Amino acid sequence: MSGSLNITAATVEPGLLALPWDIPLENWPDDTITALPKGISRHIVRFAQLDGYVIAIKETTDEMAQGEYDMLRNLQKIEVPCVEPVAVIQGRTDIEGNPLPSALVTRHLKFSMPFRALYSATLRPETAQRLVDSLALLLVRLHNVGFFWGDVSLSNTLFRRDAGSFAAYLVDAETGRLYDSLTKGQREHDLEIARVNIAGELMDIQAGGKLDAAIDPVATSDRIMASYDTLWHELNDPELLEQNELWKINKRVQRLNDLGFDIEELSIKTDADGTKVKIQPKVVDSGHHARRLLRLTGLDTEENQARRLLNDLDSYAATVSLLNLDEEVVAHLWLTRVFEPVIRAVPENLDSKLEPAEVFHQVLEHRWFMSQEQARDVPLNEAVRDYIENVLQYRKDEEIVINPPTGTFTAAVDIIRDEDDFEYNDEPMPPRGADEPIRDWRDLV
């Protein structure tokens, strides 16, 4: 390796030194590169393996690489959904001593995909709407902490499946700026950038014949405005109540919890004569259900996945008469008797198809479809077998498998067949919630 490299990293990564930094990124050898789907980028981006995980490498200028690295680290400190920065590589030269661009190294987000990888034949209206809605939620979270993105688009975002929806992660922060708070004009400017970019991206797909004929690119991109506006006002607007309407305070908190947000405190003020009360959410954190599930079970999931798993946990408690036990005890029983047997039933050669929480969610969906089709309560273990045989094995992998695989979720265990060993088999199907629309079978694939 020629020249003297300057590596900025938060942790020691010896494997970085073994990569061919003296070769332009576009010419890196095939035995170094990992094939992964990626979005459109103005820079050259390649993927490689590093000490048991996958990294994304982007060539850019010294200033932009260092600036984006610092920005991503700051966003991680305030728990914004974004890719994890690994290092900045500066001082690169080729074997003849000619300078090469600096590189930003980030950790690849497991089970995530650029939006162009989320459709195999045609992007359907439901998928396009869910992508836009998840981007709107991400933008609200960013704006709530004072982050101005400056280049909002589907291409600058990674998406992970989240129990029938998607969770969006910021992947490109080179144009971003972090302020104490944003003005209304800054927020509206970011929204306009999002609207224009999304429309352009969908038109590009349309020109390639990959867009469902029912999708209007402009109307779909306009959806982000409405989704963002609803979320922003729900989170930030004060609410004026009569003295006899104080019960609505709890209702407001519940609405925010249902959206996945926790309130650290409320500002409550009365008017001069004490007849009206003004409430204002103060510090609002996202991940309400995910934090509760993590506390109870140790499972780290997306928000909608956590909501679905918690619903199943509650149904299990009611079904096997465990409601009088401590919540932590019930959660442990559900984890060991319901969740883990389902995950262990997935053969090792299929465990890279989906992350465990999404597998469990889709098994529940599959079971519901089977029960509707057969007009009976299908036992869970029967649904697991059918899902693996008829759905999961035909999916595309959404994780890059790097040896050795994670032992917790990859052990090849036979599917449970003894009804007595699986206490959750005979419980009645829990009713679908009002917010759970019947979806097409293709949404499970």
Q: DSSP secondary structure string, 36-81?
A: ------SS-EEEEEETTEEEEEEEE-HHHHHHHHHHHHHHHHTT-S
Q: How many C-beta atoms surround the C-beta of residue 238 within 10 A? A: 10
DSSP-derived letter for residue 271 is -
Q: Which CATH class is domain 113-235?
A: mainly alpha
Angle at which helices 303-319 and 288-297 cross, to 10°: 50
pLDDT tens track, the chain, 445 positions: 445 789 998 787 888 888 999 999 999 998 888 877 665 667 888 999 888 788 999 999 999 999 999 999 999 988 889 999 999 999 999 988 899 999 999 999 888 888 877 765 677 888 888 889 889 989 998 998 899 999 999 989 999 887 777 889 999 999 999 998 999 999 999 999 999 999 999 998 888 888 888 889 999 999 999 989 988 888 777 777 776 676 677 777 777 777 766 665 566 677 666 666 666 665 445 677 788 888 888 888 888 888 889 888 888 887 776 666 788 888 889 999 999 999 999 998 888 888 899 999 999 999 989 998 998 889 999 999 999 999 898 876 665 433 333 322 223 333 333 333 444 444 444 444 434 433 333 333 3
Dihedral angle sign, alpha carbons of residues 136, 137, 140, 146: negative
Domain ranges in the chain are 6-108, 113-235, 238-286, 333-444
Would you tell me which CATH number, out of the four given (3.30.750, 1.20.1730, 3.30.200, 3.30.70), belongs to the domain 6-108? 3.30.200
Q: What's the one-letter identity of residue 39?
A: G
pLDDT at 295: 85
Q: What is the pTM assigned to this prediction?
A: 0.68
Fill in the amino acid letter for 395: R
Query: What angle in degrees, to the nearest 10, is found between the helix axes of 303-319 and 356-374?
Result: 60
Question: What are the distances in angstroms from CA 88 to CA 3, 13, 53, 77?
Answer: 16, 12, 17, 18
The whole-number pLDDT of residue 429 equals 46
> For 363-408, where are the E strands, in sequence order?
none
Identify whether the C-beta of residue 255 lies closer than 8 Å to the C-beta of residue 220: no
3-state helix, strand, coil in the chain (%, to 5): 45, 15, 40
- Is residue 336 within 8 A of residue 328, CB to CB? The reply is no
Of 329, 305, 312, 289, nearest to 383 by C-alpha is 312
